[in-house]
Structure 1
Amino acid sequence: MQDSQIIRTEYSDVMKKSYIDYAMSVIIARALPDVRDGLKPVQRRTLYDMHELGIRYDRPYRKCARIVGDTMGKYHPHGDSSIYEALVVMAQEFKKGMILVDGHGNFGSIEGDGAAAMRYTEARLAKVTQEAYLADLDKDIVDFVPNFDETEKEPEVLPVRLPNLLVNGAEGIAVGMATSIPTHNLGEVIDAVKAYMKNDDISTKQLMRYIKGPDFPTGGIVVNKDDLLDIYENGAGKIKIRGKVEVEEMKGGKSRLVITEIPYTMIGAGIGKFLNDVCALVESKKTSDIVDISNQSSKEGIRIVIELKRGADIENLTNMLYKKTRLEDTFGVNMLAVANGRPETMGLKKIIEHHVDFQFEMATRKYQNLLNKEKDKKEIQEGLIKACDVIDLIIEILRGSQSVKDAKACLVSGVTDNIKFKTKISKKMASMLRFTERQATAILEMRLYKLIGLEIEALMKEHDETLAKIARYEEILNNYDSMAQVIIEDLDRLKAEFARKRRTVVENAQEAVYEEKKVEEQEVVFLMDRFGYAKTVDSNTYGRNKEAADAENKYIISCMNTGKLCVFTNTGKMHQVKVLDLPYGKFRDKGIPIDNVSNYDSTQEEIVYLCDSEQMRYARLFFATKQGMVKKVDGNEFQVAKRTIGATKLQADDMVVTVGVICEDQSVVLRTKDGYFLKFSAEEVAEKKKGAIGVRGMKLRKDDEVKEAYLLEEGAEVKVMVGEREVSLGRLKMGKRDGNGTKVRG
């Protein structure tokens, strides 16, 4: 039996090591792009698999399901959804500065519609991907590594000739870090790379003469141009982007705003949210200039139309849209990528430096391989030329040989022992032959038609071309400027074929400032029915419909339209509602659920008290809970800016049953589930802070709990039903707080 060894170690050390291993796996192998090719592993593997499958730009499309399945089975064993999502993004021109995959079918839309299932869509490589990302893979210019099960080989990095990390940007969330790199203009980035190659001491500021700033596929306007230098210097910062707004004049002196470009961050659900935000501005009466809004976007581009009233203040309204909606948004930049096997935040110059180093490394390997091939050709050509000069002797050797081995030995080493010659002179000349192994093999495989005069001339011409290539490749390998010129020529060719005009405008714009229209302060009446639908109406409207309003609504409160309402719930919370957030209108309007304008959740909480915030300022609030705890709190403690706060502290399994305004000359009556009543003076209720539990108001028997609490004015007649009996609370005997109470039978 084999001896086993138990290694004792701290559990925390094992967890620490395991977590670090996991984190590095996510960082290096999944979430972050490599600075050399600007691709994440899933993108690299998908493109390489398409290349292996032969799905070129000039060949028919293939089903995405086939691509995804092949990629998952060979290179990326992390689930089909991640592979397909990566494939879809590489085909969406509104997300990438330059698409890498040519998609056929429904690949989603800028408005957030998802792509069709992979069994319906088809794809093939884009032309730029074939020519600038996957070319020369056969020339051993990048290292290949084993795949996950060591049955295949995959490139460690693709031989990308363009600075893809800048052109297409990147987004990814790793463990403890994230990358967010904006897209840039291909032509500008190539010009910056060329400038760096000509002068590697160039500064970031000088590079920005070529790269003006980000160039998003959705266009838009970058408005903080002065901040870009610091962002590109440090590799992190915030870019402010706005949508492009145009004004169109209509008949009758009316105008409309047309949004033709959106911020890059608004892609997807952001467009629908923008439409909702504009509607909310109208509903909350932040503006009265907007008549209608419609999304008329199509395949031709974005077109969101906002119809305006005659005489609308267009500049003020535009600034409001920038300030109150995502028409102006922030793109957080963090240029984090894997460099030399480690995650690193890099500035613009550093990224270009890594790219150029990678280009020189690839060019060196490429031309060294080409040089070796040409030298091999030169060796064989020289052997064939030499053989043509002594072809009669070679034929005599072949005819006199008993085997190929003997003939080859003679050609390489001059061994003539086993060969019959016609003359001694021939034998002597044969013993002087010294062809190389490759030359001898080529001579033995040479066909007779190669001895035709024209063929010999072609061989001589081919030899001259080979010598010229060798000289050219040696010049490139031994001279920095020559290699740089080759790389620059390649970049110029790619720029001429694939570059496009800049879409995003980069400028310094003024801060969006708008004058908020002041709401005319007036007294309104808040109405909320038993279903939680709330609204406000004019005081006169309420007066005319008082009887119906009192009958139909659970809460009726007079308040100012600029104020707030406080909603106290059985969970001990207080939610604030701005009166302006509630619909104001006709008496018969339905209103909206109060959940919609506050943090109150009708499925989890129950309202026990609702009041005007301003009226509560000069009052004291009384709290009573199910477990019999009572207290009073100064109303000023609830004058807060937060939408939700804890109104009182509760013990386990306790809840608030009553909240109300309390006065010193009142009496408190606590009523329990089992029919016990306790009446005591309000003066006995201790004043506490809102964060306190309070004091015991009543001793409860086992399984009993407080059902209701009443605040009685002196001399007021309040009657409640106990079973079938009507009980007058004012006639109850006055007791002391923390008493047992009296059983009242129905």
Structure 2
Amino acid sequence: MAESITTTEFSSEMQQAYINYSMSVIMARAVPDIRDGLKPVQRRVLFAMNELGLNADKPHRKSARIVGDAMGKYHPHGDSSIYDALVVMSQDFKKGMALVDGHGNFGSIEGDGAAAMRYTEARLKKFTQEVYLADLDKDVVDFKPNFDETEEEPEVLPVRVPNFLVNGSEGIAVGMTTSVPTHNLGEVIDGVKLLIDNPAATTEDLMAVIQGPDFPTGGIVINKSDLKEIYESGRGRIKVRGKAEIQRGTRRTDKDQIVITEIPYTMVGANISKFLSDVAALVENKKLPDILDISNQSSKEGIRIVLELRKGADAERILQALYKKTKLEDTFGVNMLAIAGGKPETLSLKRVLEEHVQFQMEVNTRKYRTLLKKETARKEIQEGLIRAVDIIDLIIEIIRGSKTLKTAKNCLITGETQGITFRHKTSEQQARKLCFTEAQATAILELRLSKLIGLEILALEKEHGETVKKIARYEKLLGSRRAMLDAIKGDLDHIKKEYGLPRKTQILDAQSAVYEEEPEKEVPAVFLMNRFGYVKTMEESLFQKNEESVMAEHKLALPCMSTGKICLFTGQGNLHQIKVQDIPSGKPKDKGVPIENISNFNGENESGLLFTTSEAMSGRKLLFATKRGLVKIVDASEFETIKKTIASTKLGEGDELVSVEFLEKSELILVSQDKTYLRFAAEEIPEMKKASAGVRGMKLAEGDAVCQIIQADPGESVKIKLGSRRYGLDKLKKRDARPEKIIK
């Protein structure tokens, strides 16, 4: 085969390939079709279960079998994504109407995962059979070849309710997402009926029956006034709040409790445990010290989270704090994106219902055409059999006188008598008048003699009468749009009566949580660190009482304020800050926590040079010196930041800080590893920014490095020992020139 080389622009080829990939993800994976509200994987799982005959009245079948069939026949992707879809469709705490009846561990509302597919079993819900999969055999939707063209699968399922609203949808595609809340089945059905009766209905009219989202977890939607704009645009944010009640103690010794019985939909899963840990953190950080205990008493009966309060606590204020600072009040982002008309589109509430009505008209038209064709064929046969009963003796004579079945059949259709032996001449004359259709002739020849009993003949005539009525009904439905819409409404009424449930989520306009934190009391404390890097704080008075024993166990004791920060400068040029309130408070025998657990400081790779406090740094200047002889002075205000870690200086490759200290004296002495000393006035060092490297304070011989910096006052004698002699550093001559080289 000859090669064909196409020259093309690389960028345009990549652009087209990315567009193709994006559309594939959008259309074939992440975004539901507005007609049935299902993603491809959900549709294929349900269809595979239907093909396996897993009806509600049949035994459950292993989930692994369902996943295997769906993957092997229709969805050639990972088995985990197929099983995840199966699991979610069985979870009534995630779906407005669960579609799969799961047997075994299918996860919990608290975030527990489902058991492996080899352990669980599933079958279809009766609701799914009747509302999602009924009439597939009546040519109501188009079928298409599967991925390897060995099977046929439906393009969409003939879902009879707006599943896009009832069960909602969540999906992330390339450059777009879909996020639709669940709604109440009965309300959505009423909305469809309202639109059928009044196509000009406004969003406000529809919201008279569709109040808003109805989450399976209940809760309260608190921004009712925003829903109209959300449903008109298809986008917005719904504020959801858990339902909690304050239970007052009935006896003197009883404590008040806050009991949470419903949670926001966004808290489903691991967010419940996160809520518990967030409350515990608020208690530990003394934001909500009046909460004495929190317990999760949830069970199969429902959610129950109990917070026990201190006697005399302001329960209402604590509840407002929980709304403000935890997931007990959250937002649900709405983006009603779906595939409509073959392309992704964000739809309004009315447009969603209009698309559903149009889809139902198409499905029902195809359904009744199929039924009409079937009943017409049945009527033809019934009429043939009724005529045949009246002349049954003649037909028996034709059959007995024919040598072949073809001869007898031909006689019944065309009246051709050649090759047939008749007993009477009149019989032959009557036979020539026969003109049954081919279908009638076939049915007559297959007629069993038992059907000639009188009662059977009456039953046949009754059946014919019913068939005629059905044909008349189908023709009326197909000939009148109004009649078809009324039939759709009738189906919806049946579904609502059979499967409708009361609303779970309350819709109202409520004020946002109002909570003002009480200013934290500023009390003196002591920061302690032992030789293993464990830190804690201690009340100042308690430290003073036990100072001797405490200092025997700790290498560092730093006075601080409860509202301040501990500042740690490291040899690697970093400043780590730790809020005092984040450090656990303890008693003398308490161990504390590793400093790495509450800060970014890594004791294995960093050397701590200066521990100080934000209060001690206020209004002061810091002196920096590196082993390569660079020095600088930085105003402490440079380090005022909310970040936990910042760079305190700029270091060259291979350089590191050897000293960070407060500038307290007017003269400085640099000391090198080779015992070289240089004394000069501190005013010779310029004040610089934290991002600068500094100026060269001392020229070093090759291989030498600064190891220390000493501060001294003019005339102050600083003694050093070299060998057997002692020298006074006050005898060193001061350098006349200022440091000339600035390293930026």
TM over 0.5: yes
Tell me what 1:270 maps to: 271
What is the CA–CA distance in structure 2 between the aligned matches of 1:359 and 1:528, rounded to whole Å? 73
Structure 1 position 460 matched with structure 2 position 461? yes
Tell me what 1:134 maps to: 133
192 and 542 in structure 1: CA distance in 2 versus 1, 3 angstrom threshold:
same
What is the CA–CA distance in structure 1 between the aligned matches of 2:344 and 2:708, rounded to whole Å? 63
Whether contact under 8 Å (1:291, 1:309) holds in the other structure is yes
* CA-CA distance at 1:215 after TM superposition: 1.2
Whether contact under 8 Å (1:670, 1:679) holds in the other structure is no
Q: Deviations over 1:173-212 (max 9, x none)?
A: 1111111111111111111111111111111111111111
Whether contact under 8 Å (1:670, 1:708) holds in the other structure is yes
Residue 560 of structure 2: SS of its match in structure 1? strand
Whether contact under 8 Å (2:214, 2:503) holds in the other structure is yes
Tell me what 2:667 maps to: 666
* CA-CA distance at 1:595 after TM superposition: 3.6
Whether contact under 8 Å (1:287, 1:517) holds in the other structure is no
Tell me what 2:406 maps to: 405
545 and 412 in structure 1: CA distance in 2 versus 1, 3 angstrom threshold:
same
221 and 392 in structure 1: CA distance in 2 versus 1, 3 angstrom threshold:
same
Matches within 5 A, 1:135-214: 135-214=134-213
Tell me what 1:535 maps to: 536
Residue 441 of structure 2: SS of its match in structure 1? helix
* Partner amino acid, structure 2, of 1:181: V
Tell me what 1:514 maps to: 515
Whether contact under 8 Å (1:295, 1:305) holds in the other structure is yes
438 and 277 in structure 1: CA distance in 2 versus 1, 3 angstrom threshold:
same
Matches within 5 A, 1:234-253: 234-250=233-249, 251-252=251-252
What is the CA–CA distance in structure 1 between the aligned matches of 2:428 and 2:728, rounded to whole Å? 142
506-515 or 314-323, which moves further after superposition? 506-515
Tell me what 1:223 maps to: 222
Residue 98 of structure 2: SS of its match in structure 1? coil
110-119 or 420-429, which moves further after superposition? 420-429
* CA-CA distance at 1:410 after TM superposition: 2.8
Unpaired segments of 5 or more residues in structure 2?
A: none
What is the CA–CA distance in structure 1 between the aligned matches of 2:211 and 2:145, rounded to whole Å? 41
* Partner amino acid, structure 1, of 2:566: L
Q: Deviations over 1:104-152 (max 9, x none)?
A: 1111221111111112111111121121111111111111111121111
Residue 402 of structure 1: SS of its match in structure 2? coil
Aligned length in residues: 737
Tell me what 2:368 maps to: 367
Q: Deviations over 1:655-711 (max 9, x none)?
A: 544332235713152545x77766554334333222333344455666x58574424
361 and 394 in structure 1: CA distance in 2 versus 1, 3 angstrom threshold:
same
What is the CA–CA distance in structure 2 between the aligned matches of 1:677 and 1:281, rounded to whole Å? 54
Tell me what 2:689 maps to: 689
144-153 or 625-634, which moves further after superposition? 625-634
* CA-CA distance at 1:322 after TM superposition: 0.9
* CA-CA distance at 1:442 after TM superposition: 1.6
Residue 634 of structure 2: SS of its match in structure 1? strand
* CA-CA distance at 1:362 after TM superposition: 0.9
What is the CA–CA distance in structure 1 between the aligned matches of 2:2 and 2:196, rounded to whole Å? 61
What is the CA–CA distance in structure 1 between the aligned matches of 2:43 and 2:266, rounded to whole Å? 25
Whether contact under 8 Å (2:670, 2:698) holds in the other structure is no
Residue 359 of structure 2: SS of its match in structure 1? helix
Tell me what 1:743 maps to: none
Whether contact under 8 Å (1:242, 1:263) holds in the other structure is yes
253-262 or 306-315, which moves further after superposition? 253-262
Matches within 5 A, 1:428-443: 428-443=429-444
Whether contact under 8 Å (2:696, 2:740) holds in the other structure is no
Residue 147 of structure 2: SS of its match in structure 1? coil
Whether contact under 8 Å (1:668, 1:682) holds in the other structure is no
721 and 258 in structure 1: CA distance in 2 versus 1, 3 angstrom threshold:
farther
455 and 688 in structure 1: CA distance in 2 versus 1, 3 angstrom threshold:
same
What is the CA–CA distance in structure 2 between the aligned matches of 1:676 and 1:133, rounded to whole Å? 89
Whether contact under 8 Å (1:669, 1:729) holds in the other structure is no
Structure 1 position 575 matched with structure 2 position 576? yes
675 and 344 in structure 1: CA distance in 2 versus 1, 3 angstrom threshold:
farther
718 and 418 in structure 1: CA distance in 2 versus 1, 3 angstrom threshold:
farther
What is the CA–CA distance in structure 2 between the aligned matches of 1:188 and 1:338, rounded to whole Å? 23
131 and 705 in structure 1: CA distance in 2 versus 1, 3 angstrom threshold:
farther
Tell me what 1:77 maps to: 76
608 and 147 in structure 1: CA distance in 2 versus 1, 3 angstrom threshold:
farther
Residue 710 of structure 1: SS of its match in structure 2? strand
Structure 1 position 17 matched with structure 2 position 16? yes
Tell me what 1:744 maps to: none
Tell me what 1:115 maps to: 114
* CA-CA distance at 1:489 after TM superposition: 1.6
What is the CA–CA distance in structure 2 between the aligned matches of 1:49 and 1:22, rounded to whole Å? 26
* CA-CA distance at 1:369 after TM superposition: 0.4
Whether contact under 8 Å (2:695, 2:740) holds in the other structure is no
Residue 512 of structure 2: SS of its match in structure 1? coil
Whether contact under 8 Å (1:241, 1:331) holds in the other structure is yes
* CA-CA distance at 1:563 after TM superposition: 2.1
Tell me what 2:525 maps to: 524
What is the CA–CA distance in structure 2 between the aligned matches of 1:229 and 1:182, rounded to whole Å? 15
143 and 731 in structure 1: CA distance in 2 versus 1, 3 angstrom threshold:
farther
* CA-CA distance at 1:259 after TM superposition: 1.1
What is the CA–CA distance in structure 2 between the aligned matches of 1:478 and 1:652, rounded to whole Å? 87
Tell me what 2:478 maps to: 477
Unpaired segments of 5 or more residues in structure 1?
A: 741-746
What is the CA–CA distance in structure 2 between the aligned matches of 1:440 and 1:727, rounded to whole Å? 133
What is the CA–CA distance in structure 1 between the aligned matches of 2:588 and 2:721, rounded to whole Å? 34
Structure 1 position 309 matched with structure 2 position 310? yes
* Partner amino acid, structure 2, of 1:98: M
Tell me what 1:325 maps to: 326
Whether contact under 8 Å (1:172, 1:180) holds in the other structure is yes
* Partner amino acid, structure 1, of 2:388: A
Whether contact under 8 Å (1:569, 1:608) holds in the other structure is yes
What is the CA–CA distance in structure 2 between the aligned matches of 1:134 and 1:298, rounded to whole Å? 33
What is the CA–CA distance in structure 1 between the aligned matches of 2:695 and 2:425, rounded to whole Å? 130
* Partner amino acid, structure 1, of 2:204: K
Residue 233 of structure 1: SS of its match in structure 2? helix
Tell me what 1:86 maps to: 85
Q: Deviations over 1:475-494 (max 9, x none)?
A: 11111222122211211111
What is the CA–CA distance in structure 2 between the aligned matches of 1:248 and 1:445, rounded to whole Å? 78
579 and 423 in structure 1: CA distance in 2 versus 1, 3 angstrom threshold:
same
* CA-CA distance at 1:323 after TM superposition: 1.0
- When the two structures are superposed, what TM-score results if normalisation uses the length of structure 1? 0.92
What is the CA–CA distance in structure 2 between the aligned matches of 1:700 and 1:296, rounded to whole Å? 70
Whether contact under 8 Å (2:632, 2:694) holds in the other structure is yes
What is the CA–CA distance in structure 2 between the aligned matches of 1:54 and 1:721, rounded to whole Å? 96
What is the CA–CA distance in structure 2 between the aligned matches of 1:729 and 1:164, rounded to whole Å? 88
Whether contact under 8 Å (1:617, 1:639) holds in the other structure is no
Tell me what 1:58 maps to: 57
Whether contact under 8 Å (1:670, 1:698) holds in the other structure is no
What is the CA–CA distance in structure 2 between the aligned matches of 1:725 and 1:580, rounded to whole Å? 51
Q: Deviations over 1:510-568 (max 9, x none)?
A: 22112323322222222223333322223333334444444543443323222223333
523 and 419 in structure 1: CA distance in 2 versus 1, 3 angstrom threshold:
same
Matches within 5 A, 1:693-732: 693-697=693-697, 704=703, 706=705, 708-714=707-713
416 and 289 in structure 1: CA distance in 2 versus 1, 3 angstrom threshold:
same
Whether contact under 8 Å (1:37, 1:165) holds in the other structure is yes
76 and 700 in structure 1: CA distance in 2 versus 1, 3 angstrom threshold:
farther
Structure 1 position 631 matched with structure 2 position 617? no
Q: How much identity, in percent, do the aligned residues show?
A: 59
374 and 677 in structure 1: CA distance in 2 versus 1, 3 angstrom threshold:
farther
Whether contact under 8 Å (1:669, 1:678) holds in the other structure is yes
Whether contact under 8 Å (1:619, 1:661) holds in the other structure is yes
CA-based RMSD of the aligned residues comes to 2.9
* Partner amino acid, structure 2, of 1:484: L
Q: Deviations over 1:348-386 (max 9, x none)?
A: 111111122111111111111000000111111122223
* Partner amino acid, structure 2, of 1:534: V
Whether contact under 8 Å (2:667, 2:680) holds in the other structure is no
